[in-house]
Chains A and B, each alone.
Chain A
């Protein structure tokens, strides 16, 4: 049988480290072309609708920024976790809690207006996200509970909590029974960056600032070094006096706060009120963004824009070709698969071993020796 054999490289390949996201993207395009062909659509025209048309006008670039902002914000936080080998996969829940806690001001005190409102909301959003992320961190450090499962379970709880709030105590009494809160007043709305050309708001700036700050943290500061050491070798980290439990809290609180900031930015920016569903799975897609960006904050910005485009493209093919917008999810999933597969090339060379393995020609040589 044909099989793969991995041969360890003496050191990581810088070439493939840079190339692998692009190879992965190319493979995704090829697989996507096959998928479109199977669906009976001309792949070329489908790709034009999917990848080109959604960003061919200025206002559409604004939409791209709106989708990319939460993805980048969440993903830079997650990259710190994953670098430290800590698996927070509940960012979706922290995003929702950030949205809820930040919305307390405009929903509960709609008369409160002025320049203080927005900063307070953003702060509360970060606190909400961080507090929700603190639960799996606490359970992991105190009881050794697996953080993957607890952080994920809390996503479902957060979704149901939001659903209850907007259908119950926080529902707009003048909302004709619709499950939503009051429209936020003007001082609780995240301003648009360039209102003349499109809807993009300050959330995108937050994302860029966060990416730069996390980049500085990871590459220029001791804390970033600590993260990397503990992630690659917890034993070495212990000898250096780095505390694993403190790191778990640091990573969870940081990523939770950023996810919470993303949540309140989305609610006060793109939506303007709370609804039963405030995220098309940003918290999960951000996991893909983090890996596609090589867990590097600056790479994550680029990856966030790519994944934002898959959302817009999904909507575009749905309206133009009548294909389910779930196609976006498929593209995102395939992309992550190929990225992870290509990452193998960084550390290993791949050898294909064919059906006819070369036989050891020992016998004739032995005879010669005689």
Chain B
């Protein structure tokens, strides 16, 4: 029983950063913007979170720094694609490349240093309950944030007027503009929200998952988060399910490596990436469904005519 609980806990820890980054990107894409810089914003969050935690001694300050740095970094993307109407694919790519370089440079002095870890929740009486205690009341704080965030985004997108407006912008920015909606302003806020989420996801990696700084420690998770949004056909609860499936794959291959299964470890390590490809193929096979769900103005630059 204990082993099962432990495995479930590690799956949750592996799924949390994917979930947060993907939920953020989902909001961005629902507004019609494709930000391929998730990996870059995430690694900036990771280095910022680790650095601030290490320098101040407080993982909570690290957490805030991770969010702030992710948001700040996404602002760069927003200015480029929204105010200057640059190509979103190329700009997102350059955000990732810049983030990987910048984080590597900023983190040079952090390599090998002990990090700060966010403490797990501990409620006397509840956390010590058998089985469910640690699953429900004993996880790291970002886990709870991730679940709350998913619920909040679901509510926001589908139950509020602002959410409806955001979705309408994603489906037709010209119509939204004609109705007098500030397309660019909404998109700025969406992109910054996505950046904050990616930063938080990166902070989870360096403050909870492995409290240390390793170059390129995101290891493609930002890209997997992007794939999750497609896999989920832009629906928050499906992102949640997808993130946990991928968390399970990630943990499963680690456990398989630890058990010494007679398969090359590199093959096991490549499973999350191969799984991403397979999942994308399965979901895009149904072309009508994908067409129906994809925000219609996704990735198209918008310049308001005046």
Write the residues of chain A forming the contact surface with B, with a CB cutoff of 8 angstroms.
3-6, 8, 82, 87, 89, 139, 143-146, 148-150, 152-154, 156-157, 160-161, 163-164, 167-168, 284-285, 287-288, 291, 323-324, 326-334, 336-337, 340-341, 343-344, 348, 350
Which of B101, B270, B287, B306 has the largest count of A CB atoms less than 10 A from its CB?
B101
Q: Pick the contact of B97: A6, A145, A152, A332 (CB < 8 A).
A: A332
| 15 extra interface residue pairs, beta carbon distance < 8 Å, beyond A149-B227, A152-B223, A341-B84 | A5-B306, A139-B277, A139-B280, A139-B281, A143-B284, A144-B285, A145-B284, A149-B276, A150-B277, A156-B273, A284-B97, A329-B102, A336-B97, A337-B94, A350-B84
B86 contacts chain A at the CB level, 8 A cutoff: yes
Contact A324 B104 (CB under 8 A): yes
- Residues in A whose Cβ lies below 8 Å from that of B287: 144
Which residues 97-113 of B sit at the A interface, judged by CB distance below 8 A? 97-102, 104-105, 108
Between-chain CB contacts (< 8 Å), 15 pairs:
A3-B83, A4-B83, A6-B83, A144-B285, A149-B230, A156-B220, A160-B270, A167-B266, A287-B90, A287-B97, A329-B97, A329-B104, A333-B99, A333-B102, A337-B76
Q: Pick the contact of B98: A153, A156, A337 (CB < 8 A).
A: A337
**A329 to B98 Cα, complex, angstroms:** 7
Closest to B77 in A: A337
Contact B281 A326 (CB under 8 A): no
Contact A149 B280 (CB under 8 A): yes
**A333 to B80 Cα, complex, angstroms:** 14
Chain B contact surface mostly: helix
**A154 to B272 Cα, complex, angstroms:** 11
Contact with A along B50-93 (1 / 0, CB 8 A): 00000000000000000000000000100010011111011101
B124 contacts chain A at the CB level, 8 A cutoff: no
Q: Pick the contact of A332: B89, B101, B303 (CB < 8 A).
A: B101
Q: Pick the contact of B274: A153, A168, A328, A333 (CB < 8 A).
A: A153
- Contacts A3-B83, A164-B267; A327 near B105 (Cβ below 8 A): yes
Minimum C-beta distance from B189 to chain A (A): 14
- Contacts A144-B287, A329-B100, A332-B97; A87 near B84 (Cβ below 8 A): no
Total A-B pairs, Cβ < 8 A: 140
**A322 to B269 Cα, complex, angstroms:** 34
Contact B101 A328 (CB under 8 A): yes
Closest to B264 in A: A164
- Residues in A whose Cβ lies below 8 Å from that of B108: 324, 326
B257 contacts chain A at the CB level, 8 A cutoff: no
- Residues in A whose Cβ lies below 8 Å from that of B270: 156-157, 160-161
- Which 5 pairs between the two chains have the least Cβ-Cβ distance? A329-B101, A333-B98, A326-B104, A164-B266, A336-B94
Which residues 191-227 of B sit at the A interface, judged by CB distance below 8 A? 219-220, 223, 226-227
B290 contacts chain A at the CB level, 8 A cutoff: yes
Contact B230 A340 (CB under 8 A): no
Contact B303 A6 (CB under 8 A): yes
- Residues in A whose Cβ lies below 8 Å from that of B266: 160-161, 163-164, 167
B166 contacts chain A at the CB level, 8 A cutoff: no
B36 contacts chain A at the CB level, 8 A cutoff: yes
**A332 to B100 Cα, complex, angstroms:** 11
Minimum C-beta distance from B274 to chain A (A): 6
- Contacts A145-B280, A146-B230; A341 near B80 (Cβ below 8 A): yes
Minimum C-beta distance from A18 to chain B (A): 19
**A163 to B76 Cα, complex, angstroms:** 35
- Residues in A whose Cβ lies below 8 Å from that of B264: 164, 168
Closest to B223 in A: A152
**A88 to B303 Cα, complex, angstroms:** 27
Minimum C-beta distance from A90 to chain B (A): 11
- Residues in B whose Cβ lies below 8 Å from that of A89: 93
